[in-house]
A and B are shown apart, each in its own frame.
Chain A
Amino acid sequence: MVMCKGFPIVLVLLSLSECRRARDPGLQYSGGETTVFVTSSLAFSSPAANLDVDKMPAFTFGNRVFNTNWVTAPSSTKNFDGLGPFFNRVSCSSCHLLDGRGQPPETPKDTMDSMLVRVSLPGESEVGGPRPHPIYGDQINDRAILGVKPEGRITVRYVEIAGNYPDGKHYDLRRPVYSFRLNYGDAPGILFSPRVAPAIHGLGLLEAIPEAAILAIARLQASSGIQGKPNYVFNALTGGKSLGRFGWKANVPTLRQQNAGAALGDIGLTSEIFPRENITAIQKDNKALASVAGLGGDSVDLKTEFLDDLTFYTQTLGVPARRNHKDPEIRKGEQIFSQIGCSGCHVPTFETGEHPAGIKEVSHQVVHPYTDLLLHDMGSDLADGRPDFQASGSEWRTPPLWGIGLVEAVNRHTTLLHDGRARNLEEAILWHGGQAARAREAFKNMSEKERTLLLRFLKSL
């Protein structure tokens, strides 16, 4: 048993302006009353268990939009055209398959089907975010509509790294190495960040965690050497800065903005939030593109009502319940998780406040996301070198761990971390560096039995 400067499990119950006390259905209910008891491939796809019947149409239509295969304009399905001209996939569900998690290509021959690569140049944009590359903008689109050449193609190969635990047991890690083939000119000095699609259950709950609760955690951490930091990012609605919650570096403040941004950046769909096509000034010289850019005119590709329901859908997906949470071995694993300091950043419990859009199903819920939504320096091995608002090149948002044990059932793989380099939970832990290095070392120094218990606990989430 390793006793570290353990970080106690912090239960944050901030009832600031809320008069209601939330009901706590218990630890098994990872998503509070939104929790669904599903362990099949549909674990992330069910509506919140407490979703009002009257809101089913909005949820269902949002699901329909999420699954829509967008087509090039003009088309007979005029409500669902406007794809591109540049895109990565034609639907949200292609990357977030079954509302689940993407994975990287396994060999250099494979395409990126549920992963993308963000790019930028050093420096900041006019709103303080990543400075877009003059040709490629802020993301490489590896597909395009007929008559237009895609921006480029990125392939991955892996370098195996062998290692041993202090007790002698062997482990293997793999580091990804990327190759770029760019079609609109070279890009010397370009910064890039590969990112798999995250699973999308529970996001409305995350949106409803009071900012004060998150900042309170940051203050607590400051005194214990973990030092999580909030990312204040551009809010497209207000034009100012808001707390970022979504994305691998917490670079988006609201789900509506996240969805509109992804619709534009990944599918090429304009919306009321981002009404301009995703084409840089240099690419506009291309004749085929010039004609596409002209299409659309006043109307946007993704209608506002569609964006509204799509957002509602992403806000009200249920969180799957924990499995076997009372099993003594799993309880032991959870204790170890706390003792070695994991729960310092992967904070087990929050109470949500009133959701900003008033969605009652996700408001005032006691939930167990295992994240603090803060940025942490994870060390040079995991760094992408690409700053994103206040996140440095080596800082990442703590990802939520709820549902992590069900990714295999939903998406039939177990890859983890922002670029999917970790082939399982054990490898993911071994990559933890920077502020998490101490906890990682504690993991390595534990007995095999204790490591197994910890992994079993994680799989129960």
Chain B
Amino acid sequence: MQKQLLIIPQAILITISCLKPQPVSEAAVVRDYSLLVHASYLQARKDAQAMQKSVSDFLAAPGDAGLKSARDSWIKARVSYSQTEAFRFYGGPIDRPKSQGKEEGPEALLNSWPVNESYIDYVKGNPGAGIINDPRIQINATTLTGKNQQKDEADVATGFHAIEFLLWGQDFNPAGPGDRPVSDYTTKSNHERRKQYLRVTTDMVVTQLRSLEEDWAPGKENNYAAEFQKLNSKVALGHILTGLVTLAGFELASERTATALKSGDQEDEQSCFSDNTHNDFINNIQGILNVYEGRVGDYSGIGLDAWIKSASPEMADQILEALRSTKDKAISLPVPVDSILASPKNSDSRQKLESLSHALAQDAKLFQKAGILLGVDARLIAE
């Protein structure tokens, strides 16, 4: 008899706790976010290493198959990299400002765009252009780092889009990507320098991602992950939200969509050489969803949703639904994105991109609201 009596209250307790949102400690959210970021950079580093291997194989014996393989590996590496952009904008390891004893974060070296192609290599109408065709310039990591955006933001020398330009070349085709020939790496003037440039820039990406991975590694005493755990939890949560608000509300809604729509200029399309921009959008949004749901790849932990749910289940659901809807919009964009930009003013495809842009701004607003509700400073940092 006793046993039965015990069981019933337990059942009631379990039922009640399933109905009521579990209180989630802010420290737990911060801790698990840290683990998620580490898992994300780890994956990005692995994919960059795969890209490095493909590029290396291609350079050892340049041919069409090798070039295709290198291109595919770049596209694959972009999937995990784009998801890490949700960790930008609060001065974490990716974009910490330069200070005593610490170098500036590697974001500008990793992902700057648009790229002034003639700064790196030949372009249509200027066959001798660029660092590659200037034998006075040494092609190594130190030099290229110094040359990156030296006098002009568009004079990009390193990073994913420099590599992209080296793999695809200029894109003159509104219906497809750039079409750089393999001969650029075999017989074209300065082909050895071009190979070196591709090699060095690819190696740099791996090095930078590895260092980000280490900055966020758990169980260390002196890295950023350790510092991040020690922050006042409201400050840390403010950072987390600031990353999401700014990525959605500024970088995506404005820089990467609205601006491109308004200018109609291919230069405003992020991955303009490879025509991979639609995947950038999808994966940027996925990155936000990862933080929200607390999972990426094999990693699963407490996400922002649990924390927001404990204050307002309605808001938590609203955010999830909004993010999923935004992701759907990105998935159903006509491709390639430059065909959207080239299409006439009120076309269907333009409206789709405008709708995506608008949705991203609204997502940012929802996160701002969540911040206010939870007493956390979620800012939109624009430059």
Residues of A participating in the B interface, judged by any CB pair closer than 8 Å = 40, 42, 45-47, 51, 53-54, 56-57, 59-61, 64, 67, 69, 77, 79-80, 305-306, 309
Per the bound structure, the CA–CA distance linking A59 and B381 in Å amounts to 13
Closest chain B CB from A269 CB (angstroms): 15
CB-contacts of B27-78 with A (<8 A): none
Contact A53 B361 (CB under 8 A): yes
Residue of B nearest to A305 (CB): B262
- B262 near A61 with CB under 8 A, answer yes
| A–B complex contacts, Cβ < 8 Å, 21 sampled | A42-B383, A45-B383, A53-B361, A53-B368, A54-B361, A56-B249, A56-B250, A56-B382, A57-B257, A57-B357, A59-B254, A60-B250, A60-B254, A60-B259, A60-B382, A61-B258, A61-B262, A64-B263, A77-B265, A79-B264, A305-B262
- Picked from B259, B364, B365, the residue with its CB within 8 Å of the CB of A61 is B259
Q: Which residues of A contact B265 (CB under 8 A)?
A: 77, 79-80
One of B153, B263, B361 near A79 (C-beta < 8 A): B263
Bound-complex Cα distance A247 to B242 (A): 37
Say how far B116's CB is from chain A's closest CB, in angstroms: 9
Please measure, in the bound complex, the distance between the C-alpha atom of A4 and the C-alpha atom of B161, giving whole angstroms: 62
Cα-based distance from A278 to B381 in the complex (angstroms): 39
Which residue from B364, B365, B382 sits with its C-beta under 8 Å from A47?
Answer: B382
Known: A46-B383, A305-B262. A57 touches B254 (CB 8 A): yes
With both beta carbons as reference points, the residue of chain A lying nearest to B256 in the complex is identified as A60
Known pairs A53-B249, A56-B250, A56-B380; A61 contacts B97 (CB<8 A)? no
Contacts of A54 in B (CB 8 A): 361
If A40-B97, A67-B153, A77-B267 touch, does A57 touch B382 (CB 8 Å cutoff)? no
Q: Which residues of A contact B153 (CB under 8 A)?
A: 67
Beyond A64-B263, A306-B262, 11 additional contacts (C-beta under 8 Å) are A46-B381, A53-B364, A56-B254, A56-B380, A57-B258, A59-B382, A60-B382, A61-B254, A61-B263, A79-B263, A305-B262
Q: Tell whether B214 is near chain A: CB-to-CB under 8 Å.
A: no
- CB of B107 within 8 Å of the partner chain: no
Residue B253 at the A interface, CB < 8 A?
Answer: yes
The reply to whether A57 and B253 form a contact with Cβ atoms under 8 Å apart is: yes
A216 to chain B, nearest CB (A): 36
Shortest distance in angstroms between A39's beta carbon and chain B's nearest beta carbon?
11
Q: How far apart are B52's CB and chain A's nearest CB, in angstroms?
A: 33
Tell which of A47, A57, A59 has the most Cβ of chain B within 10 Å. Answer: A57
Shortest distance from the beta carbon of B251 to any chain A beta carbon, whole Å: 9
Chain B residues within an 8 Å CB radius of A46: 381-383
CA distance A69 to B267 in the complex (A): 12
The reply to whether the CB of B377 lies closer than 8 angstroms to some CB of chain A is no
The B274-301 residues at the A interface (CB cut-off 8 A) are none
Interface size for B (C-beta < 8 A) is 26
A46 and B89 CA atoms in complex are apart in Å by 13
Chain A residues whose C-beta falls within 8 Å of the C-beta of B97 in the assembled complex: 40
What's the Cα separation between A193 and B97 when bound, in Å? 40
* Bound-complex Cα distance A373 to B381 (A): 31
B95 within 8 A of A: no
CB pair B380 A53 closer than 8 Å: yes
**Residues in chain B near residue A61, CB distance under 8 A:** 254, 258-259, 262-263
- Option from B154, B259, B264, B365 in Cβ contact (under 8 Å) with A57: B259
Chain A neighbourhood of B263, CB < 8 A: 61, 64, 79-80
* Interface of B toward A, CB cutoff 8 Å: 97, 153-154, 249-250, 253-255, 257-259, 262-265, 267-268, 357, 361, 364-365, 368, 380-383
For B364, the chain A residues whose CB sits under 8 A away are: 53
Docked CA distance A67–B254 (Å):
15
Max count, chain B CB within 10 A of own CB: residue among A40, A60, A69, A305 = A60
Partner of A64, one of B253, B268, B380: B268
Residues of A within 8 A of B254 (CB): 56-57, 59-61
Q: How far is the CB of A201 from chain B (nearest CB, A)?
A: 13
Return B150 CB to nearest CB of chain A, in Å.
14
Min CB distance A227 to B, Å, is 42
**Which residues of the partner chain A approach B267 to less than 8 Å between Cβ atoms?**
77
Q: Give the residues in chain A near B264, CB-CB below 8 Å.
A: 79
Given contacts A53-B361, A59-B254, A79-B264, contact A64 B259 (CB under 8 A): yes
Q: Please, how many angstroms separate the alpha-carbon atoms of A53 and B363 in the complex?
A: 10
Q: Is the CB of B361 within 8 A of A56?
A: yes
Docked-complex contact A309 and B380, CB < 8 angstroms: no
With contacts A40-B97, A61-B263 taken as known, whether A53 is within 8 angstroms of B365 at the C-beta atoms is: yes
Residue of A45, A46, A56, A59 most packed against chain B (CB within 10 A): A56
Contacts of A306 in B (CB 8 A): 262
Q: B249 to chain A: which residues have CB within 8 Å?
A: 53, 56
Complex formed: what's the CA distance from A54 to B364 in Å? Answer: 10
Q: Residues of A contacting B357 with CB < 8 Å?
A: 57
**A83–chain B nearest beta-carbon distance, Å:** 15
- Which residues of chain A are near B154, meaning CB under 8 Å? 69
CA distance A61 to B249 in the complex (A): 14
Given the contacts A53-B361, A79-B264, A60 and B380 also touching, CB distance less than 8 Å = no
Q: CB-CB < 8 A to B253: which residues of A?
A: 53, 56-57
A172 CA to B154 CA, complexed, in Å = 40
CA distance A47 to B382 in the complex (A): 7
Closest to B380 in A: A53
Q: Which residue of the partner chain B has the closest CB to A49?
A: B379
CA distance A42 to B268 in the complex (A): 22
A309 touches B262 (CB 8 A): yes
Alpha-carbon gap, A309 to B258, bound state (A): 12
Chain B positions within 8 Å of A57 at CB level:
253-254, 257-259, 262, 357, 361
Closest partner residue, chain A, to B116 (CB atom):
A69
Which B residue sits closest to A64, measured CB to CB?
B259
- Enumerate chain B residues within 8 angstroms of A67, measured Cβ to Cβ: 153
Chain A residues whose CB sits within 8 angstroms of the CB of B365 once the complex forms:
53
List of 7 A-B pairs having minimum Cβ-Cβ separation, nearest first? A57-B258, A60-B254, A56-B254, A61-B262, A57-B254, A53-B249, A61-B259
The reply to whether B368 and A60 form a contact with Cβ atoms under 8 Å apart is: no
| Distance A53 CA – B364 CA, assembled complex (angstroms) | 8
Which residues of chain B have C-beta atoms less than 8 A from A53's C-beta?
A: 249, 253, 361, 364-365, 368, 380
A79 CB, nearest partner CB in chain B, Å: 6
> B98: nearest residue on chain A (CB-CB)?
A40
In the bound assembly, the distance between CA atoms of A356 and B258 in angstroms comes to 26
Chain B residues, Cβ within 8 Å of A80: 263, 265
Bound CA–CA A175/B95 (angstroms)? 43
- What is the bound-complex CA distance between A74 and B213, given in angstroms? 48
Please, which residues of chain B bring their CB within 8 A of the CB of A79? 263-265
Q: Which residues of A contact B368 (CB under 8 A)?
A: 53
- Shortest beta-carbon distance, A81 to chain B, in Å? 11
Question: CA A53 – CA B378 in complex, angstroms?
Answer: 13
- Complex interface: chain B residues within 8 A of A56 (CB): 249-250, 253-254, 258, 361, 380, 382
Q: How far is the CA of A61 from the CA of B255 in the complex (A)?
A: 8
Taken together as a complex, chains A and B put the C-alpha atoms of A79 and B261 apart, in Å, by 12
Whole-angstrom CA separation of A53 from B265 in the bound complex:
23
